[in-house]
Amino acid sequence: MKMTLKKSILGAVVLAGSVFGTLSVANAAGGDNDYEDKHVHWHFNGWNGSFDRAAAQRGYQVYREVCASCHQLKHLAFRHLGDEGAPFYDKKYPNPNDNPIVKGFAADWTIEDIDIDTGDVIDRKGIPADYFPPIYPNAAAAAASNNGKAPPDLSVMVKARTGGADYVYNVLISYKDDDPTYNKKMGGLIAMANPLSDGLVEYADGTEATVDQMAKDVTEFLAWSADPKMEARKSLGFATMLYLLILTILLFLSYRTVWRNVKH
């Protein structure tokens, strides 16, 4: 009995030491000790926050011209770009399928489809109802083309990472100048080489395309793609709280009226 107890205690100590060592290594690899996150004032934060439409529109341009060569937006359809609250929403086109800007964006992409007459695989231009297509045919091909690591889907990236928008923004701006594969935020070499450089895109609205500006803009766009109904949800939440406040006041006044002549 004593030997069994000693073995159990010894096993627990060894296991604890192993776990502690693993956590220490993981923590050491989690980021550069000298790097401090830069925090941005995101307009969409807070109970009444909203998206910066101009920034999100520029962010889509950065995604299309830079990020889309590797990263998919599999949870997003082209029509979502024209929904109410979306970067390219237009009140003249309440149905995003009729929005000419959305139609143009969709047509920029090639969609693999099936010919209904022959059953053959064909390529066609995208339509608003299509979802953003995969960049690679499968995960193995994606990994083989990117230093052994398949690029993650970006449609919900801002919600999927601790730190949210600040995480994405800091990853994009924290590459070493003399080593495009060393990321100070991630604490070492990563599979994705630095994707941004000053002047990489030519913004349609004339904004200067610095690395910092492009990182903020594409993060704004990805924040919207991760939560496209945020503004509607916040608006409904505010209306609901206001309704409940008024109802509480009415119930209290009713209580005072009904029981005013009753001694408590």
Rounded CA gap, 58 and 116, in Å?
37
Secondary structure (H, E, C), 132-158: CCCCCCCHHHHHHCCCCCCCCCCCCHH
Does the structure show a pLDDT above 60 at 9? no
Average pLDDT rounded to a whole number, residues 55-66: 98
Rounded CA gap, 95 and 128, in Å?
10
Most distant CA pair in the chain, distance: 85
Residue with token string 């010894």: 10
pLDDT: which is higher, 12 or 38: 38
Query: What's the pLDDT score for residue 33?
Result: 64
Average pLDDT rounded to a whole number, residues 49-58: 97
Q: Which residues does 224 contact at the CB level (< 8 Å), separation at least 6? A: 44, 51, 56, 59, 86, 87, 230
pLDDT band at 34 (very low <50, low <70, confident <90, very high): confident
* pLDDT digit string, tens, across residues 140-192: 999 999 989 999 999 999 999 999 999 999 999 999 999 999 999 999 999 99
Do the Cβ atoms of 31 and 186 come closer than 8 Å?
yes
**What is residue 124's three-state secondary structure?**
strand
Does the structure show a pLDDT above 80 at 29? no
pLDDT band at 241 (very low <50, low <70, confident <90, very high): very high
Q: How far is CA 148 from the centre of its chain?
A: 23
Query: What's the pLDDT score for residue 3?
Result: 41
pLDDT: which is higher, 263 or 104: 104
Does the structure show a pLDDT above 70 at 198? yes
89 closest CA partner among 60, 69, 132, 116: 60
Do the Cβ atoms of 50 and 44 come closer than 8 Å?
yes
Do the Cβ atoms of 157 and 226 come closer than 8 Å?
yes
pLDDT band at 240 (very low <50, low <70, confident <90, very high): very high
Query: What's the pLDDT score for residue 126?
Result: 98
Give this prediction's pTM. Answer: 0.83
Does the structure show a pLDDT above 70 at 18? no
pLDDT band at 242 (very low <50, low <70, confident <90, very high): very high
> What per-residue string of b and e applies to 142-169 under the rule 16 or more CB within 10 Å gives b?
beeeeeeebbebbbbbbeeeeebbbbbb
196 closest CA partner among 171, 221, 220: 171
Query: What's the pLDDT score for residue 28?
Result: 37
Average pLDDT rounded to a whole number, residues 222-238: 95
* pLDDT digit string, tens, across residues 96-127: 999 999 999 999 999 999 999 999 999 999 99
Q: Which residues does 188 contact at the CB level (< 8 Å), separation at least 6? A: 29, 32, 182
